[in-house]
Structure 1
């Protein structure tokens, strides 16, 4: 009898725990339904599928439909149509068509979808300099208790414009010597990376050109040259690295055992341009080429890898949406 009673008590406790956990899961799944306070990550409110695939999206018939719905005051249909339209945005749309994002954010606020509205206001603040104070006013009015702060975007863009006019790197005054025809071509040659012994240089060149029916196809490739007896050898293409796609922005590790570079517009890539790494296999040959993967590369443009002096941190540029502006600097280690 004692054991039977104990068994029944244990079964009752297990049943209570199971019921409580089921109830919690249900509450979590339904919290905020209809009021814009969903637990879904803000980054997944709208998925921008075209980032890294097209620069700019425009559909005149859909824009006319948006105008008609707005004029008729059909806000529910207008929200769905706007969401569908902006989900097709390329990276340029976020600056040129920020008014559509603003309109959608206002509709979210009007329909009590506050979390979505705040998410869109933050996105606008990061990617436009139009009417910035006006956007700040609205964002601040609904985000008084939020702890996420943003960089003043008007200052950010002024800084970008300023940097276009000056050299941020000012080397010591000296004599500039052209490396000559053994290295340079009649076309663009740029982005050199040199090993720590100063006797191996890898750079990007647009010398690889092919005449086609639609015009000349320019293929960016990586070339290498080495210093021997005080002069540089004829530049040669990196045969195991270059493909029919574009390669560029080389970066050598401190001991030149690894080469970081970018490859663009490949079917296997994650975005417009991805960062890759290759291993030095001796005698200026490189192999075991690997994409750095989704933890580094995005669906947007990722480029200009640069290693820290210690070699344990990789810095790079990207125009992904999580940044403060058009192009930002990221790092990984």
Structure 2
């Protein structure tokens, strides 16, 4: 992956050797290096090094020249010589050396260098991430085996990368030679400048056919890449070198950087190419990505305030088409390395490429969760199907079909960068469908139009829905998590239930029965049904009111206090254990105990009658000689509140 789209900081210094001719060659190479002409610089530096003229500075530049062109074998060679000469180098060289080692399969040695790096530079976030994720290879392995990957069918022998699917077409950047005499080669990469190309896509298979150049004024003689179209197809954001209206802009070092541009479609022609207001001649912006609601634009930049070599930012797009102030996404996602190529899905996920998070070498693709407050959490490597020891980046996916594309310079491709299509066969996160039906607790009637809210175990709302005509609701939830589910409906008492989701993919069902908040009763009804009080329980062989049942009696008390003419007949029952005579006496004591409690709370005793029925009205078959559980017996130990007058 070439760094004209990755914003690397270049440290330029001069060499001092006794030989004037060697010094002249080195100065020439420095100039080429400073101007990003790395292909020529490598040749000059190596010729000088082969003659025995070496210094730390030159070895750094030789290593960088290979590293920035993703030739990690060369980078390992020269960084290795640098570390043999001295380990008193800047943290970047530790990290680049480790990344290069990983990219050439020398993972154990890379981890050793990373361990030295994290111990020596304790405040560097990349070192902290390595320490916190010492078993990162195990996690990557766990996240692997989830994709079916194929060549996208649009690659050439040159660099092809950064795809975007819109309207059954895939748009991408390519450095392929189209035979145009005006094509110019980039000194840095030795390839032609990239332009935007387009190919038709089979929506079923993701296959591509008939590649054509995107024939618009968007393409120029400099680099264009990373298109992102709005849903209506009338606006496209893209990356280009600092070049508009035939004028090339440069920074204070006379380097042409990259900017994010916008173009609009009018009369079937793309025009009105404008740079965005947060662009600058003095830093790069690139790789725009729109949020699903198109109210936020994400991009990569090395603007002031950047944590590392390039960070991911977001900026709001207001209703009039203006832009807010760019906001750095923070250190949970951005490291001292490179974070770039963001892509946002409708599932509040952000995919991005990074060499700062723990990966397999070069750039790896990661995914994070966008929280409601805008922070990024739960960042994970997507696995070794997509990622390799080389650069893997520009990942995009359709969250419905689970088809998508990514770019890579991994072994086996046709060009320096290639585009691959994929089908995700297993989600990274274990998800379950959590569903249920909302009903009336008394009549079992389905309750459509019920609002159902999903909370996590910390009480943070994760989602909400309305039950359909069948009373059904459904959420997608993470396996192994605990959630609170709240059901709300007018004229019903709100109910909240805790549910534990299983640890494997599948379904979890939770029917919810709601109690009516407004209860219609008449003479002969059990008042307890209004509150779901089916029983007032007593301990075995006791007639005193249990503390935990006093709350239910308070509900009965409230109704009596608000319906001064209402009279109740309190009926107490026992289970079948003990003798018939004993149970009759026990239930009588319990009825009197309940009446006594209500009278003590201020109810006129003339409004209350009561009787003990012993074991004569069992609600189940737990009679003498029948083996039952304690729970079954307790169902028979109850008090009822029958309305006799109001």
Structure 2 residue 393 is the aligned partner of structure 1 residue 320: no
1:94 aligned to which of 85, 98, 103: 98
Query: Which one has the largest radius of gyration?
Result: 2
Structure 1 unmatched runs, 5+: 1-53, 66-81, 109-118, 127-147, 153-158
Shift of 1:297: 0.8
Moved more, 249-258 or 277-286: 277-286
Structure 2 CA distance for aligned equivalents of residues 63 and 175 of structure 1: 48
Name the CA shift for 1:180/1:62 in 2 (closer, same or farther; >3 Å): closer
TM-score, normalised to structure 1, is 0.53
Is the 8 Å Cα contact of residues 251 and 281 (structure 2) preserved in structure 1?
Answer: no
Equivalent residue, structure 2, for 1:34: none
Counterpart-to-counterpart distance in 2, 1:238 and 1:246: 12
Of the candidates 67, 72, 84, which is equivalent to residue 63 of structure 1? Answer: 84
Residue 212 of structure 2 is matched in structure 1 by 176
**Distance in 2, Cα, partners of 1:213 & 1:241:** 15
1:289 alignment partner, one of 323, 326, 330: 326
1:114-263 matched pairs, under 5 angstroms:
148=138, 151=141, 171=201, 172-174=208-210, 176=212, 178-181=214-217, 183-208=218-243, 209-210=248-249, 216-242=254-280, 244-263=282-301
CA distance in structure 1 between the partners assigned to 2:134 and 2:214 by the alignment:
45
Question: 1:276 — aligned with what?
Answer: 313
Bigger helix share: 1
Q: For the Cα contact (< 8 Å) 1:201–1:225, is it kept in 2? A: yes
| Structure 1 CA distance for aligned equivalents of residues 339 and 251 of structure 2 | 29
In 2, Cα distance between equivalents of 1:91 and 1:254 = 35
**What's 1:27 paired with?**
none
SS of the aligned residue for 1:89 comes to helix
- Maintained 8 Å contact 1:253/1:311: no
Cα separation, partners in 2 of 1:101 and 1:260, compared to 1, 3 Å: same
1:63 partner SS: helix
Counterpart mapping for 1:294-309 below 5 A: 294-308=331-345
SS in 2 for 1:249: strand
1:58 positional shift: 5.3
Q: Please tell me whether the aligned partners of residues 242 and 258 of structure 2 are also in contact (alpha carbons under 8 angstroms).
A: yes
Deviations 1:42-71 (A, max 9, x none): xxxxxxxxxxxx867959787347xxxxxx
How far apart, in 2, do the equivalents of 1:263 and 1:254 lie? 21
Does the C-alpha gap of structure 1 residues 95 and 244 become closer, same or farther in structure 2, counting only changes over 3 Å? Answer: closer
- Residues 1:149 and 1:296: Cα distance change in structure 2 (over 3 Å): closer
Q: Deviations over 1:229-276 (max 9, x none)?
A: 322223111123445200000001223211000112x44111111000
Residues 228, 194 of structure 1: alpha-carbon distance in 2 compared, 3 angstrom cutoff:
same
Q: In 2, are the aligned partners of 1:254 and 1:311 still within 8 Å (CA)?
A: no
Is the 8 Å Cα contact of residues 300 and 319 (structure 1) preserved in structure 2?
yes
Give the stretch that moved more between structures: 234-243 or 249-258: 234-243
CA contact (8 A) 1:258 1:277 kept: yes
Please state whether the residue corresponding to 1:286 is helix, strand or coil: coil
Deviation of the 1:123 alpha carbon: 7.8
* TM-aligned CA deviation for residue 327 of structure 1: 1.5
More strand by share: 2
2:326 and 2:219 map into 1 onto residues whose CA distance is: 26
Give yes or no for contact 2:251–2:257 (8 Å, CA) kept in 1: no
CA-to-aligned-CA distance 1:103-141 (integer Å, 9 cap, x gap):
9959x9xxxxxxxxxx89x98996xxxxxxxxxxxxxxx
Secondary structure of the equivalent of 1:192? strand
Paired residues of 1:210 and 1:218 also in contact (CA < 8 A): yes
Which runs of structure 2 are paired with 1:70-85 in the superposition (5 Å)?
A: none
Q: CA deviation at 1:324?
A: 2.6
Distance 1:203 1:225 in 2: 8
Helix, strand or coil for the counterpart of 2:263? strand
How many residue pairs end up in the alignment? Answer: 222
Taking structure 1 as reference, are residues 213 and 236 closer, same or farther at Cα in structure 2, changes over 3 Å only? Answer: closer
* Superposed displacement of residue 165, structure 1: 7.6
TM-score in terms of structure 2 length: 0.29
The answer on whether the counterparts of 2:300 and 2:310 sit within 8 Å (CA) in structure 1 is: yes
Answering whether residue 352 of structure 2 is matched by residue 331 of structure 1, we say: no
Report the Cα distance in structure 2 between the residues aligned to 1:321 and 1:290, rounded to whole angstroms: 21
